[in-house]
Amino acid sequence: MGLTSPLIKRAALFSVAGLFVLAPGALFVGAAHAANYNPTETSRRDAGTPNSTIVIKNKAGTVIEYGNKYILYNAPPSKLDNLGKALFMENCASCHGTQADGIPANGTVGAYPDLVGLGPATVDFWVVSGRMPSANPRVVEASRRQPRLTPNQALAIAAWVNSLAPSIPLIPTPNLANANVSDGAALFALNCASCHTIEGDGDALAASTFSPSLRNIPAYQVVEAIRTGPANMPRFTGNLSDQQVLDVTKYVTTEIQHPNNPGGFGLGGLGPVAEGFVGLLLGVGVLVLVCYWIGERE
């Protein structure tokens, strides 16, 4: 006893000291990594239609429906064109112009993106997620808010903008019954967790942008985001099939929105590294106490 207890004491002190030296180091490395992160910029025009088994065209030869048993994409009905035009003039034209072709960066009033040819899913997504009409055009990143327009009004605006130059992606309807949620979890870890975190809570990106939380987003809007890549998010087209997009969407709308914490405490979903530190601190603390107790007893 006399020989082992000082050794145990020393080992315990070393491990505690080690923790305090290593933990800030690990956090520093993590922060440096985040600051160097450079989000991909993509053009959102005509995002592709991977593996469509259904392709339906109208009389003019324009594709108005495509997809497969996983996701079906539909053009907004052209009978909404006139309503959409009126809504656009009222809510959008002041910034994006009466022809929806935007204002270039060298204009005198600011730069507003050209919306012609972006595809109905892009226009719909920005309106149904409340990002548009913009309240503050100077903000670095428009974020999800209470929508100012109804889903039908958003669809009407998408219909009119699309009538100027018919384009894809069209509005998706995911068929979640055909999804595989465990494949979705793996695909999410590979393609999405780097920005949105494995728990889907979102995180800061470079230059005061951030990746938002993915909780409480309707499935079709998750598909719209994946297929159109809003702002700093990359657009996933040929690299993810509709089946894979459906699997990820099911994972996002079921597992992430109702997380189950098998270990008991969720610790606010901080992620494995931070949760590991909490485990380590508690565990080592208890061990140190046990060591002192053994050491002092003779």
Residue ranges in contact with ligand HEC by CB under 6 A: 39, 44, 91-92, 94-96, 112-113, 115, 118, 122-123, 126-127, 129, 131-134, 137, 141-142, 144, 157, 191-192, 194-196, 205, 209, 211-212, 214, 217, 222, 225-226, 230-234, 236, 248, 252
If the CB atoms of residues 68 and 237 are measured against ligand HEC, the closer one turns out to be 237
C-alpha pair distances (Å), 165 with each of 45, 129, 160, 207, 263? 11, 23, 9, 34, 53
| CB of residue 234 to ligand HEC, shortest distance in Å | 6
In whole angstroms, the minimum distance from the beta carbon of 113 to ligand HEC comes to 4
The encoded tokens of residue 226 equal 């994946």
Query: Position of tokens 């112009």?
Result: 97
Minimum distance from CB of 210 to ligand HEC (Å)?
A: 7
Minimal distance in Å, beta carbon 269 to ligand HEC?
16
Report how far residue 95's alpha carbon sits from residue 52's, in angstroms, rounded to the nearest whole number.
Answer: 36
d(CA 59, CA 74): 16
* The two three-digit tokens of residue 176, written as one number: 């979640």
- Give min distance, CB of 177 to ligand HEC, in A: 19
Question: Are 89 and 192 in contact, with CB atoms under 8 Å apart?
Answer: no
Nearer to ligand HEC, 128 or 291 (CB): 128
Choice between 155 and 226, CB closer to ligand HEC: 226
The distance from CA 216 to its chain's CA centroid, rounded to whole angstroms, is 12
Closer of 67 and 174 to ligand HEC (Cβ): 174
Which phi and psi (to 5°) does residue 233 adopt? Answer: -85, 135
Residue closer to ligand HEC (CB basis): 15 or 241: 241
Whether the ω angle into residue 169 lies within 30 degrees of 0, i.e. cis, is: yes
